[in-house]
Amino acid sequence: MATLSLPGLDRKLAPYTTGEPIRFPSKEEIASFNRVAYAAAHVVADPLANNDPWIDAAVDWDRTIAFRHYLWDLGLGVAEAMDTAQRGMGLDWNGAQELICRALDAAKSRPGVKIACGCGTDHIAPGPDVSVDDVIRAYEEQIEVIEKLGGRLIVMASRALAYAAKSPEDYKRVYDRILGQVKEPVILHWLGEMFDPALKGYWGSDDHMAAMDVCLDIITRNAAKVDGVKISLLSKEKEIQMRRRLPKGVRMYTGDDFNYAELIAGDEEGYSEALLGIFDGIAPAASAGLARLAKNDLQGFHGILEPTVPLSRHIFKAPTRFYKTGIVFLAWLNGQQDHFLMIGGQESARSIQHLAELFRLADKARVLHDPELAASRMKQLLAVHGIA
């Protein structure tokens, strides 16, 4: 245990004493998982790069790949080059290509591990000169690169398509075209506007239920090419409704960082697999919880994961797109990187009050691996902010 002083909403410092961290599951427990679980993984910035941090993305590749091995060691798959890796918020397509190449190469030394890679259209900028056909070509370019590397695809939502599409029929045309030519079944990603405001109205409607009808129509027509769909709308009701309407054999991957425990556990009509940014930050708890679920120990599963939900809701609070700051902050507290810096200067996207509360909630969730180290680093951050 460790004791430190943390600021509260009243602007006053109050002592806080940490508890005990969660026990990491054994290899035998990890081998028993009965859910597919991917962690969308972050990238580690290079603190010694002589660059312009708001403009140039300098990545510490050794630490970034080491973090993927940490996730694989815990039995989690890696969802690579997604929004958690600051795709579109610091990491461009050139950087994503290198990340995907390095991660796939690392996975080759780990037989049986899961990795899937985000493909999109982020190398073209949305605008009046970009047509739906341009969007199709952009998807095809990224798909070709990833498939040549031997990667499995996560087809990400496209800002360019959200701008160019005039109707649901444009979405159907794009997705029918690209799904008709992929080599293996893909995971589709419906990222809500709370994560990326530029994706408002995706699938051709601001009404999520109407948009869901369009997405389901696309999936049904192309079911043989769709492994599953990840929806990130932060609504368990909408996810459950969509899950119950999916064609047989198509998985639902929860992207609901507010309600994942309930959705993964499921109900009498089914359950969701997982593809979550929060699993980057709570990987040991996610792994231990999944091991309990595999033993049909539902109480034990919820006992481990439910305390992490308040932490996740805090990290993903509005503006939700800044959740990556909390994810990287946790990695620094837990000793998985030596600094709290991010590409794009995104470490400044959350306040010291937000980070202090994140520390408290992470401790209560038992996901601070070494409380003494975490407390020491939190004290350093407070001192930099003139708080002591």
pLDDT tens digit string along 343-366?
999 999 999 999 999 999 999 999
Alpha helices in the chain (DSSP H): 27-30, 61-73, 93-107, 132-148, 159-164, 168-179, 208-221, 236-245, 260-265, 278-281, 283-294, 298-305, 308-315, 323-333, 352-364, 371-384
> What pLDDT, on the 0 to 100 scale, is given for residue 1?
86
- Which residue in this structure is represented by tokens 């496209």? 158
Question: What does the alpha-carbon distance between residue 170 and residue 54 come to, in Å, rounded to a whole number?
Answer: 34
Q: What is the 3-state secondary structure (H, E, C) of 217-266?
A: HHHHHCHHHEEEEEEECCCHHHHHHHHHHCCCCCEEEECCCCCHHHHHHC
Per-residue pLDDT of 289-323, as tens digits, reads 999 999 999 999 999 999 999 999 999 999 999 99
Compute the mean pLDDT over every residue in the chain, rounded to the nearest whole number: 97
Give the pLDDT confidence score for residue 54 in this predicted structure: 87
- Of 22, 108, 92, 44, the C-alpha closest to 306 is 22
Strands 251-254 and 273-276 turn out to be parallel
Task: State yes or no: pLDDT of 388 exceeds 80.
Answer: no
CA dihedral angle for residue 193, residue 38, residue 67, residue 54, rounded to 10 degrees: -10
Q: And the tokens for 243?
A: 């899950």
Domains of the chain: 24-321 (3.20.20.70)
Residue 147 banded pLDDT, cuts 50, 70, 90: very high
Residue range 81-137, pLDDT digits in tens: 999 999 999 999 999 999 999 999 999 999 999 999 999 999 999 999 999 999 999
Residue 259, pLDDT above cutoff 80: yes
What are the tens digits of pLDDT across the range 198-256?
A: 999 999 999 999 999 999 999 999 999 999 999 999 999 999 999 999 999 999 999 99
In this prediction, what percent of the chain has a pLDDT beyond 90?
95
Query: Is 55 or 87 the better-scoring residue by pLDDT?
Result: 87
pTM score of the predicted model: 0.96
Query: What pLDDT does 167 receive?
Result: 97
